[in-house]
Amino acid sequence: MIRSLLIANRGEIARRIIRTARKMGVRTIAVHSDVDAGMPFVREADAAVCIGPAPARESYLVQQKILDAAKATGAEAIHPGYGFLSENAEFAEAVEAAGLVWVGAPPHSIRAMGLKDAAKKLMVAAGVPVTPGYMGEDQDPAHLQAEADKIGYPVLIKAVAGGGGKGMRKVDRAEDFADALASCQREAASSFGDDKVLIEKYILGPRHIEVQVFGDRHGNVVHLFERDCSLQRRHQKVIEEAPAPGMDAATRAVVCDAAVKAARAVDYVGAGTIEFIADASEGLRADRIWFMEMNTRLQVEHPVTEMITGQDLVEWQLRVASGEPLPRRQDQLSINGWAMEARLYAENPSNGFLPSTGPLHRLKLPRGIRVDSGVEEGGEVSPFYDPMIAKLIVAAPSRQATAAKLAQAAARVEVWPVRTNAAFLALAAADPDFVAGHIDTGFIERHAERLVPSGEPSTAVQQAAARALLPAADGVWSSITGFRANAAPDCRVAVEIAGDTHLVTLTEETPRARDMTVGGERLLFMAGEAWPFELPRADHAGGGGAVSDGTLTAPMPGKVIAVEVAEGDHVTKGQKLLVLEAMKMEQAMLAPFNGVVVELKARVGGQVAEGTALVRVEKDGD
């Protein structure tokens, strides 16, 4: 068995690996950037090595620095986690060449599955069904157009080296193909250094089904059943579950058998995921589920598989990497109950899901469920890395009970001043169509209006909070009405007033409260949302805000990269005034109406916090 393990990753996955390694008596070494020095995973490891500045390309992605850290600390093995270098065949080879154990897929398997077109050809040869499409070498635009016409629209153009939704375009009509192809190729070249594409039939009512596979060095390969990852936003997974809703035993057997064939075709060792696309327009059917790609690593959503099988997949990884056979045979694995995982992100759904970074003055995550998190209260969400705060993982005997448990867990999240998608997750998990299993990859886009919270507390919420604090008051506080139709019967509210937090459970009849003391400003938390809270005066029936005075504030923390106006300039509605950059995203600030720039507080290169006033435009004629 491996005795010491360097983890070439950070955050929640590093903590997750440390937890299992400690249980197995394996010494752990963390590597970290300057900005991550105070992170929990660094503190929890047995040893830690700083490998460079905050940008990943100067630290976590520098292979030699990681190898040097392993040598300096006497590590026997390297676990890459997911992301960063986890699917880099050259790094895997460098680890093995250094005499270390690579806790991951063999380099030849990573290469075989690394390019989508080559992987699909390999799967066809192995007898694994693949999506109808074109995967040829001829990349002439006219030839690609002809192939798309032959397949039939709609089609999907995909970069062969792509991932994460980049280099991907849906084309509904033949006349739109040329422009979509050119755009896809430009993005693919920019993101992956390879503009080669493949074309697939676009699946109507698509479901994203994936199967967890595991192989060892003794020729054994098993599956640990399927997961459904259909709830996505812009090709990024939001809620994952296992097993897949609507999957009958016969269909499961066919899909899981295909996954095992796929793994055997590349002599797979370790943890991997075979991803399928399903045409679920008439339910899940074995003849309408096709291979899409393979992820040659542990997946973010692996906890739902662990919850339904009772297996620790990181322990399996360490045992297989140590040369042991798989801990279980196929006939020793079974599904028990249901599990779901929601990704809690530092982002603001009511503001276009823009990233929200900064300090975590308050971070209260739900108890009684599994929470895999890389941060803690008093820490910070950095702009340099993925903005995931935690994974909320729940399990129950049935899917309906699991969805209810997840909705309740997301609603209990309390985070400030960083914004999160907790309320969005709570609404999604409680949505009647989701609970009924009526899902596909377009679910969130179709239901966005009812899933994205408003971002502001309603008058009813403010009244309820005020009533909890002023039980003897009357007038505007004498009734509690107007709760959301989709709110839970009991809504928990926390109101912080000068350091005292009142946790309130609200019903339609009467509020009840208990007290706790924390530091901080006046805040209101409810159903996963958080707002600064001002107790309204009793002589106002209000709740209405002031009319905008033309002041534009930063929608997210970031850097001003362009200022295109000066004080005194006349501007027209929609004119670009300045541009912010954060998390590799650009956000243009536009004039709200025709007018004059009367105040300009932004300067190029300046770092600004969310909510900072940047520019004020005064209407013409004011």
For 375-386, the DSSP string reads: --TT-EE-TTS-
Q: Are strands 570-571 and 595-600 parallel, antiparallel or unpaired?
A: antiparallel
Q: How many CA atoms lie within 13 Å of 454's alpha carbon, on the beta-carbon side? A: 8
Q: What is the pLDDT of residues 345-378, one digit of tens each?
A: 999 998 889 889 999 999 999 999 999 999 999 9
* Distance of alpha carbon 548 from alpha carbon 113, whole angstroms: 53
Share of residues in the chain with pLDDT > 90 (%) = 66
Is 537 assigned a catalytic role? no
Q: In the prediction, which pLDDT does 469 show?
A: 55
Binned at pLDDT 50, 70 and 90, residue 559 comes out as confident
Q: In the prediction, which pLDDT does 504 show?
A: 54
Q: In the prediction, which pLDDT does 461 show?
A: 64
* Distance of alpha carbon 597 from alpha carbon 571, whole angstroms: 7
Strand, helix or coil at 374? Answer: coil
Binned at pLDDT 50, 70 and 90, residue 2 comes out as very high
**Residue 411: enclosing H or E segment and its boundaries?**
helix 399-411
* Distance of alpha carbon 321 from alpha carbon 77, whole angstroms: 9
Q: Specify burial of residue 138 (Cβ count, 10 A radius: 0-12, 13-18, 19+).
A: exposed
Q: In the prediction, which pLDDT does 581 show?
A: 79
* Distance of alpha carbon 125 from alpha carbon 326, whole angstroms: 27
Q: What is the pLDDT of residues 302-355, one digit of tens each?
A: 999 999 999 999 999 999 999 999 999 999 999 999 999 999 999 999 888 988
Amino acid at 589: M
Supply the CATH classification number for the domain 551-619.
2.40.50.100
Task: List residues bridging with 395 in a β-sheet.
Answer: 339
Instruction: Please give the average per-residue pLDDT across 179-195, as a whole number.
Output: 88
Q: Which residue has the tokens 């699917």?
A: 87
Supply the CATH classification number for the domain 4-103.
3.40.50.20
Q: In the prediction, which pLDDT does 120 show?
A: 84
**Residue 600 or 574, more confident:** 600
Quick one: the chain helix, strand, coil %, rounded to 5? Answer: 30, 30, 40
* Distance of alpha carbon 338 from alpha carbon 331, whole angstroms: 20
Q: In the prediction, which pLDDT does 610 show?
A: 76
Q: Are strands 380-381 and 370-373 parallel, antiparallel or unpaired?
A: unpaired
Q: Is the dihedral of CA 526, 532, 535, 536 positive or negative?
A: negative
Domain ranges of the chain: 4-103, 105-130+207-336, 132-201, 337-454, 459-532, 551-619
Residues 468, 504 contacting (CB under 8 angstroms): yes
**pLDDT at residue 488 above 70?**
no
Q: Is the dihedral of CA 49, 50, 56, 62 positive or negative?
A: negative
Angle at 575 between CA 569 and CA 577, to 5 degrees: 60
Binned at pLDDT 50, 70 and 90, residue 584 comes out as low
Strand segments (E) across 318-434: 338-345, 347-348, 354-355, 358-364, 370-373, 380-381, 388-396, 414-417
Whole-Å CA distances, 145 to 103, 109, 156, 176, 200: 43, 32, 12, 10, 12
Angle at 290 between CA 286 and CA 294, to 5 degrees: 125
Residues 247, 223 contacting (CB under 8 angstroms): no
Q: In the prediction, which pLDDT does 529 show?
A: 86
Residues 492, 412 contacting (CB under 8 angstroms): yes
Instruction: Please give the average per-residue pLDDT across 566-594, as a whole number.
Output: 84
**Nearest-CA neighbor of 456 among 358, 533, 540?**
533
Q: What is the mean pLDDT of the chain?
A: 86
Q: Which of 15, 16, 297, 419 is catalytic?
A: 297
Q: In the prediction, which pLDDT does 543 show?
A: 32
Strand, helix or coil at 546? Answer: coil
* Distance of alpha carbon 100 from alpha carbon 91, whole angstroms: 12
- For residue 243, whether the previous peptide bond is cis, meaning omega lies within 30 degrees of 0, is yes
**pLDDT at residue 65 above 80?**
yes
Domain 337-454 belongs to what topology? D-amino Acid Aminotransferase; Chain A, domain 1 (3.30.470)
Residue 494 tokens read as 């926390």
The highest-level CATH class for domain 105-130+207-336 is alpha beta
* Distance of alpha carbon 128 from alpha carbon 263, whole angstroms: 10
Q: In the prediction, which pLDDT does 537 show?
A: 42
For 510, phi and psi rounded to 5 degrees?
-155, 145
**N-to-C CA span, the chain:** 76
- Burial call 445-469: b when 16+ CB within 10 Å, e when fewer: eeeeeebbbeeebebbbbbbbbbbb
Q: 132-201: which CATH architecture?
A: 2-Layer Sandwich (3.30)
- For residue 417, whether the previous peptide bond is cis, meaning omega lies within 30 degrees of 0, is yes
Strand, helix or coil at 98? Answer: coil
Radius of gyration of the chain from its Cα atoms, rounded to whole angstroms: 26
* Distance of alpha carbon 206 from alpha carbon 445, whole angstroms: 13
Instruction: Please give the average per-residue pLDDT across 117-125, as a whole number.
Output: 86
Residues 598, 618 contacting (CB under 8 angstroms): yes
Equal fold, 132-201 vs 337-454: no
Binned at pLDDT 50, 70 and 90, residue 480 comes out as very low
Q: In the prediction, which pLDDT does 473 show?
A: 37
**Residue 146: enclosing H or E segment and its boundaries?**
helix 141-151
**Nearest-CA neighbor of 386 among 236, 195, 254?**
236
Q: What is the pLDDT of residues 491-545, one digit of tens each?
A: 555 555 445 554 554 443 333 333 333 444 567 788 888 877 655 443 333 332 2
